[in-house]
Structure 1
C-alpha cells in the first residue's frame, strides 16, 4: 500500500506523506515513492506550485524509520541510506517550481530536513522542530548541518543538534524559517499557492534559480541552467542544430 501520495488540484500539486502510525517516518519505499512523484511534478508544465504535506496532526515527519536503517552496515548506511535521502531532498530543493512545506505537526530529524528543502514553510501553532539524531547515536545526514545552516542561525542549529532542544513555531517564525503560523496550515498554503497562478511560471522558475545561485544551493548547476536557457533562445542555437541535421557548416550570426 502506498504511503506517499501525489494529488493534483488544478495547477497545484500535493505530495502527501501517509504513514501517521509511524509519525510519517521515511522508509526506503517512501523515499522511492517521493522521488517518483517529484519527477512527475517536474514534467507537468500545467503545475505551477507544489505543496508537501503529511497525514495526521501529531507529526509532519519524524525523520527516518529506525527499522529501515538500524541494521545497515556502516558502508551501506553511508553509501545508500544517507546518500539516497540526500539526493532526493536535493531534488526537492532544486525543483523548478516553487514548493511550500506544510508543517502540520512535529518535524524532527529528516522531517526538519525535508521542510528545509522546501522554498517556504507554513507551520501549525503547536508543532515543533528538532534534530534528535544524537539520541540514537547518529548525526543529521540529509542536509541538517548544511542546508539548514543557511536557513537558521548557527546557535539555533547547535541548540537542537548538540543539546537536544525543540524549537517552537513562534521562534521559527522569528527566525524567518516559516512564513506563517496557521491553525490550518494546509489551507494557508493553498491560499499562498493560489497567488502563484497569477505570476509568470517562467519568471518564477528563473527567479528561483537566480536566488539559489546567489545563496549557494547547487550554485554550479543553477548558473549552467540559467546560461543554457539563455543560449537556447538564440538564433545561433537554432542555426547550430539545423546545420548539424543538414550536415553542413553552421553560419553563426551572433544573435
Structure 2
C-alpha cells in the first residue's frame, strides 16, 4: 500500500503524505499513487477543494527518498525518476480543483517542490524551506528551478539551490509564497478549503485557468480549455454534432443555447 492517501471530508478531499519513518520522503509508489489520485479527483464533480497534508514528522516532506534513486543509472535517473516526478507534480499543479497545502514542518527538495504545486500554502512558524540537492551532488528535478522561480523569484531560489540556505516561514510569507503562518496549518488549510466550497465552483475553476495561462502554467491547454468552454454551450456546437450523427451538412446559426 502506498504511503500517500486520499481521504474524503464531504466536498473537501485530503491528499496526505504518510511516510513518517522517512520524513515523508517520496517513493516511486507514492508518485504513482499521487497521479492516480489526481486522475480520480479530476473526474469527481463532488470535490470542491483539495487540502495537502503530511503525517506528523520532523518534516512535511524531506524530498525524494535517496534510496529510491541512488542506484539508478544516469539515463534512468533522468528519464524515469526526474521526468516522472515532474510530470506527476505538474498534474497536481494543473488540477482543476483549488488546492491548499498545510506545511506543518520542514519542506526540503522535492517536498518544497510538492508544496509549490498548491494554489495556496499555510506554514507553521517553525517550519523552513530548502533545496539541499547540491549537498548530495544533484540538482532540483521536480520544478524547483522552474515553477519555484515564478513563485518566489530568482534570488531566493539561488539562495536555497546554490548556497543551501533555509528560508523561514516569515521570509516565505513576505515573499508571497505562503498565504498565512499558523500554529496549526492543517486547521487553517481546512478552514480555507471550507471557505472555497462556498464559492462558485465553476468561477473558481475558470479563474484558476485564467491565472495559469497568465503565468504560463500549461498555458496552451488553459487557453484551449477556456475556448472550449465558450464554444460548448452554442447552438452551432449542438448543430455540428447533430449533423455528424445524421450524416448531413450542418446549418450553423451562430447563436448560443
Shorter chain as denominator, the TM-score bin is: over 0.9
Is 2:246 aligned against 1:250? no
4+ residue stretches of structure 1 with deviation over 3 A? none
Q: What's 1:110 paired with?
A: 110
What aligned pairs does 1:13-162 form with structure 2 within 5 A after superposition? 13-162=13-162
How far apart in 2 are the matches of 1:239 and 1:10?
Answer: 38
State the Cα distance separating 1:158 from its structure 2 match: 0.5
Gaps of 5+ in 1: none
SS at match of 2:152: coil
What do the CA deviations read for 1:19-75 (whole angstroms, capped 9, x no partner)?
A: 001011111101001111111111110110001110014111111001111111111
What do the CA deviations read for 1:64-118 (whole angstroms, capped 9, x no partner)?
A: 0011111111110111110100000000110001000111111000000011110
How far apart in 1 are the matches of 2:81 and 2:93?
Answer: 18
Count of matched residue pairs: 255
CA contact (8 A) 2:23 2:57 kept: no
Q: What's 1:210 paired with?
A: 210
SS at match of 1:151: helix
SS at match of 2:81: helix
CA contact (8 A) 2:24 2:57 kept: no
How far apart in 1 are the matches of 2:232 and 2:61?
Answer: 40
Gaps of 5+ in 2: none
How far apart in 1 are the matches of 2:80 and 2:239?
Answer: 44
Q: What's 1:226 paired with?
A: 226
TM-score by length of 1: 0.99
CA RMSD of aligned residues (A): 0.7
How far apart in 1 are the matches of 2:84 and 2:28?
Answer: 9
How far apart in 1 are the matches of 2:63 and 2:184?
Answer: 22
TM-score by length of 2: 0.98
